[in-house]
Amino acid sequence: MRVLGFESSCDETGVALVEFTEQGGSPKLLADALHSQISMHQAYGGVVPELASRDHIRRVIPLTREVLARAQASLADVDVIAYTQGPGLAGALLVGAGVAVSLAAALGKPTMAVHHLEGHLLSPFLSSDPPEFPFVALLVSGGHTQLMRVDEVGSYELLGETIDDAAGEAFDKSAKLLGLPYPGGPHLAKLAETGNPEAFALPRPLMHSGKPDFSFAGLKTAVLTQVKKLGDAPTEQQRADLAASTQAAIVEVLLKKSLLALKESGLKRLVVAGGVGANRMLREQLNAACAKRGIRVHYPELSLCTDNGAMIAMAAALRLQRGIGATAPSGGGFEVRPRWALGEVS
């Protein structure tokens, strides 16, 4: 069986073809193609929803052709068409969903609506070292920071989440204050390489709450205060120091709360997913702390940490393997869910 997956929830258009057998075994990625709109939005310092929707329209068909060509397949070889139904930008979601549902109707194939965060969460199944169930998942992306208990595909229990900004948002907003381009996470991480993580005393909100919850809004305010103190012409070293201190604050909280969730659940496996999961310092610290405690940590491939079509096709394949059904082709009606909690999928 082959599933063609579409991702268009934000500023990446992703299409991928995944093959699987209904008997089980790891689904296989046959081909994927991605177009990132980052350079288009950079001039505005963030994603402009209307521009995002229009660009998805421009890219989605050429990317689909590219994927089929690379997999040496045709639309006739596709058995199920999957798409990101939410959460995300409504107009952006409508493009991927509209194309997926229309294609399915034209081909007489079933569709599967996928939750974007389920895609992130299951993306390590595309790596050479896929995890086994059950595990604790640390989902750290641009819009979400959550710890979940995952017992099986489709079984997601929220253990704790951020009460305000997401970790990715904390990276991006702090980076912006430091004058770095959007999205700032990777730029801030780069600048931090030459900085002293102890140079600035920044807050670690909710660090000692005793619960697997997070808060990052106060950190951004503290970074703003420091930036103002440094004045108009901070030295390169001061900027690097502030970047390093910011990254250290975020990573320390993520580490502490992940260990707390692991301890409370008694599980010995951690899956890290979402864009911030690409952060090197986070990976190093999680690896070291978990190794000490006999905990295995799994990550998606670096290139699949941020949004992509492969994770959507993979999530659909894993669901289908477990008999979680697809929807028969309809007359073309469909809905997207810009706001949608992952717990509702279970």
Q: Which one, 78 or 93, has the nearer CB to Mg ion?
A: 93
Among 143, 181, 218, 234, binds ligand ATP (CB under 6 A): 143
Question: Which two three-digit tokens encode residue 315?
Answer: 């999530």
User: Considering the rule CB under 5 A, would residue 141 count as an interface residue with Fe ion?
Assistant: yes
Examine residue 141 and tell whether it contacts ligand ATP (CB under 6 A): yes
Hey, what are 71's tokens? 């997999």
Among 5, 160, 186, 195, binds ligand ATP (CB under 6 A): 186
Minimum CB–partner distance for residue 328 and ligand ATP (Å) = 29
Is 37 a residue that touches ligand ATP (CB under 6 A)? no
- Closest separation in Å from C-beta 17 to Mg ion: 21
**Residue among 41, 342, 312 nearest 172 (CA):** 41
CB of 142 to ligand ATP, least distance (A): 3
| Choices 105-113, 212-220, 245-253, 301-309; region in contact with Fe ion by CB under 5 A | 301-309
- Candidate list 172, 205, 270, 321; residue touching ligand ATP; CB under 6 A: 172
Q: Residue 278 touches which of Mg ion, Fe ion, ligand ATP, none (CB < 5 to 8 A by kind)?
A: ligand ATP
Binder of ligand ATP out of 30, 178, 191, 278 (CB under 6 A)? 278
- In the window 4-63, what residues touch Mg ion (CB under 5 A)? 10-12
Least distance (Å) between residue 12 CB and Mg ion: 5
The alpha carbons of the chain give a radius of gyration, in whole angstroms, of 20
Q: Please name which of 87, 95, 82 lies closest in space to residue 51, comparing C-alpha atoms.
A: 95
Can you name the residues that pair with 31 across neighbouring β-strands? 17
Q: What is the edge-to-edge ordering of all strands in the sheet holding 12-19? A: 28-36, 12-19, 2-7, 80-86, 111-115
27 vs 277 by CB, closer to ligand ATP? 277
Q: Decide: 258 and 133 in contact? Cβ < 8 Å.
A: no
Q: How far apart are CA 275 and CA 5, in angstroms?
A: 19
E strand spans, the chain: 2-7, 12-19, 28-36, 80-86, 111-115, 135-140, 145-152, 155-161, 269-273, 296-298
Residues that bind Mg ion (CB under 5 A): 10-12, 307
